[in-house]
Structure 1
Amino acid sequence: MSKKTIVFTGGGSAGHVTPNIAIIKEIGNDWNIQYIGSKNGIEKELISKINIPYHGISSGKLRRYIDVENVMDVFRVLKGCLDARKALKKIKPNLVFSKGGFVSVPVIIAARSLKIPIFIHESDITPGLANKISQRFATKIFTSFEETKKYFPAQKTSVIGSPIRREIFKGSEEKGRRFLGFHDNRPILTIMGGSLGAKKINEAVRGALKKLAAEYQIVHLCGKNNMDSSYSSVPGYKQFEYIHDELPDILAATDLVITRGGSNSIFEFLALKIPMLIIPLGLEQSRGDQILNAKAFEGEGYSITLKEENLTMETFVDQLETLQKKSGEIRRNMEQSKMGDALQTLVNEINGLSS
């Protein structure tokens, strides 16, 4: 029996791509898999690492504010629809799966015009603009949060949680400590500011580094071009632009984590039972989705929150002390989480299309 074909789409940030990669790895050889993304976006870089056929299309940016570029982007999106339709007619997929981001909209519009079934997944509590547009064309919609369901048609929406990559569970604490050169006498604090880093978080960490290093061994993922060699000699402090292959081992060794409020990351830390201090992107940098994600997790007792506008060296240290004191309670709350296996749910839904 010949394999069916699935096209994945989504891009603009790593958060719109890594869940797709998790699903791709899980369905493996059962499907012919291809990807449609922007010509030069981060999705192209990430998908190239897993050797999946990639089709680049024209894409604009879906802005929520008035900008002269909006006029040009109308034409870019129309060109993207034509590009996507041409690619889909050639690929002839049985299903399109989207994780959102502005590049997904032309793909979904083109898929609908060709009567191809469409699944979309929304990670955040409030849907992004791309998924707001795409929902009318979707066959099925999946969300990470219960609160999100109200934004979509109830008859085709299911709350399943966030699809978590399997490899994140395969880390070795021993390997992580060995890679970092850390001993087991002090807890390990991991600081993750997102794929691009976080200038304000980096400044707070380095400002408080002397105090932090007296209590923790610190892994600082500070983002591209954000390493500072003047701190390289601080004992028990390791900084990296980004970690890929060794991340599961580092997280296996991690006792506490400082993170942004991206849905994919915080659901991974929940699954790994790592107490977290969430410092969400502020409204001046985002639509506020990370703030709502952080509020939901804090409400469940999985984390504590420090708003970016309140972030200073002093508040950072204070909140970290609070996290340490509450860590046992937070882990107990995490143990009681009813979060299901969203990745397996999505794989079952996808495979159900071919049965």
Structure 2
Amino acid sequence: MKKILFTGGGSAGHVTVNIALIPRFAREGWTIDYIGSTNGIEKQLISSMPHVNYHSISTGKLRRYFDLQNVKDPFRVVRGVLQAYRIIKEQKPNIVFSKGGFVSVPVVMGAWLNKVPVIIHESDLTPGLANQIASRFSTRICTTFPETVNAFNNRKSRYVGPVVREAIFHGDAARGLAFTGFSKSAKPTILVMGGSLGAQKINRMVREALPELTKHFRIIHLCGKGQLDPTSTHPDYRQYEYVNEELPDLLALCDFVLSRAGSNAIFEFLALKKPMLLIPLTKQQSRGDQLLNAASFERSGYCKVLQEEKLTPQTLVSQLREVSWDKDEYIQNMSRFQQNDALALLHQLITETAK
């Protein structure tokens, strides 16, 4: 019996590709293990999946800036490597697949020490620090953007394209209506997504703009854990901390998406031909990957970009209305995108490397 071990976490974007791949291997009878952190979102998302054995290890965040935690975190990483090494030695997987995030580095190193082949996947236009480190211990590197191949060792790297979960294509707008409690309406619907942990400024601006926004749109707001606001009420506004199996139905229901610019999410919106207003994380909040992702999509005519520094209730309303006016043009541009079956390519590459 073949065994595969997945890793990746710290944000939903470092888990969604794994969630897309796991059912394929489960259907084929593979034994599936997952190594993640003790309290990260990956444990929340993966633990509920059938046929997956979840293992927790110590993790330390990899930072490019000064922080007192930088003194302690290397010891946590070393401890995580030892824990991952023991788990991999005991489980004896044929292959490890890593989606990135700081939890993945100890796992990839543990696999390398056990001489288990590793495939890593990079979603963004430029590689994150975790995948830069992990690439040195990997067998193959797969990328979402063709330009990213040049950032790694070309002999290891392969462009596969965006991985899109099969489940998002099976959403039902009627189920979305039933879930939200909205009635049928001529108003277009906007789905607001600030990332797995939410986005405080986006949340605040959406709520401040509600009186004007709801004149033109219905709003479904995924605001993040602990960020519900009981004072924000309107018949055309619904807010949820987080959704899981309901997301495909909400995507089927919505006409537009207001989102951060994480690669996995925006490629799913592209696959569904949902016009977007993207508000990428700033350089101060990140390494700048979302700025590059958003700029690439804007050049291709898939979205409009609003920088967070210019985000106000007024600019939010005006930019969303512009997206609404240009809806047909965005959909036409997205229809021209030629998408590989990246899920099938990854599945094939993993299977061949495991042999």
CA distance in 2 between counterparts of 1:182 and 1:161 reads: 38
More divergent stretch after superposition (33-42 vs 178-187):
178-187
Give the equivalent residue in structure 1 for 2:241.
241
Alignment of 1:87-106 (within 5 A): 87-106=87-106
Task: Measure the CA separation in 2 of the matches of 1:249 and 1:313.
Answer: 27
The one-letter amino acid of 1:170's match is H
8 Å Cα contact 1:258-1:276 kept in structure 2 = yes
Q: Which residue of 1 aligns with 2:10?
A: 12
Question: How far is the alpha carbon of 1:325 from its aligned partner?
Answer: 1.8
Give unmatched runs, 5+ long, in structure 1: none
What does 1:47-126 align with in structure 2 at a 5 Å threshold? 47-51=46-50, 52-126=52-126
Matched length: 352
What amino acid is aligned across from residue 342 of structure 1 in structure 2? A
The aligned residue for residue 206 of structure 2 is 205
Q: Quote the offset at 1:29 in angstroms.
A: 3.2
**Alignment partners' CA distance in 1, 2:354 and 2:195:** 36
Where in structure 2 are the equivalents of 1:129-208 lying within 5 Å? 129-180=129-180, 181-208=182-209
What SS does the corresponding residue of 1:230 show, helix, strand or coil? coil
- 1:335 and 1:64 mapped to 2: Cα distance? 38
The range that moved more, 271-280 or 191-200, is: 191-200
Amino acid at match of 1:210: P
Contact 1:39 1:58 survives alignment (8 Å): yes
List runs of 5+ in structure 2 lacking aligned partners.
Answer: none
Alpha-carbon deviations, 1:39-61, whole Å to 9, x = none? 22221222111141111112211
Alpha-carbon distance in 1 for matches of 2:39, 2:20? 21
The answer for the alignment partner of 1:46 in structure 2 is 45
Query: Mapping of 1:191-270 within 5 angstroms?
Result: 191-232=192-233, 234-270=234-270
- Name the amino acid aligned to 2:319: Q
**1: CA distance, partners of 2:68 / 2:212:** 48
**Contact 1:23 1:163 (C-alpha < 8 Å) held by counterparts:** no
SS at match of 2:32: strand
Distance 2:67 2:209 in 1: 40
- 1: distance between equivalents of 2:352 and 2:62? 33
Shift of 1:67: 2.8
Query: CA RMSD for the aligned pairs?
Result: 1.3
1:287: Cα distance to partner? Answer: 0.9
Aligned counterparts of 1:179 and 1:78: Cα–Cα separation in 2: 45
Deviates more, 1:265-274 or 1:323-332: 323-332
What is the alpha-carbon distance in structure 1 between the residues aligned to residue 84 and residue 243 of structure 2? 33
Percent identity of equivalent pairs:
52
Return the letter of the residue paired with 1:42.
I
| Secondary structure, counterpart of 1:97 in structure 2 | strand
Q: Give, in angstroms, the shift of residue 196 of structure 1.
A: 1.4
Aligned equivalent of 1:328:
328
Query: In the TM superposition, what is the alpha-carbon distance from 1:354 to its structure 2 partner?
Result: 5.0
Contact 1:261/1:281, CA 8 A, preserved across alignment:
yes
Using the size of structure 1 for normalisation, the TM-score is: 0.96
Write out per-residue CA displacement over residues 119-156 of structure 1, whole angstroms, 9 at most, x where no aligned residue: 00001111111100111111111111122111111122
**Contact 1:182/1:236 (<8 A) preserved:** no
Post-superposition offset of 1:293: 0.6
CA contact (8 A) 2:6 2:33 kept: yes
Q: 1 CA distance for matches of 2:196 and 2:9?
A: 13
2:19 maps to 21
Contact 2:62-2:130 within 8 A present in 1 as well: yes
CA distance in 2, matches of 1:354, 1:60: 29
TM-score of the superposition, structure 2-length normalised?
0.96
- Cα deviation, residue 26, structure 1: 2.2
Deviation string, structure 1 residues 211-254 (Cα, Å, up to 9, x no partner): 2111111111111222222222x121111111222211111111
For 2:106 and 2:229, how far apart are their aligned partners in 1? 41
For 1:12 and 1:222, how far apart are their aligned partners in 2? 18
| Residues in 1 aligned to 2:76 and 2:324: alpha-carbon distance in whole angstroms | 49
Q: Report how far residue 92 of structure 1 moved.
A: 0.6
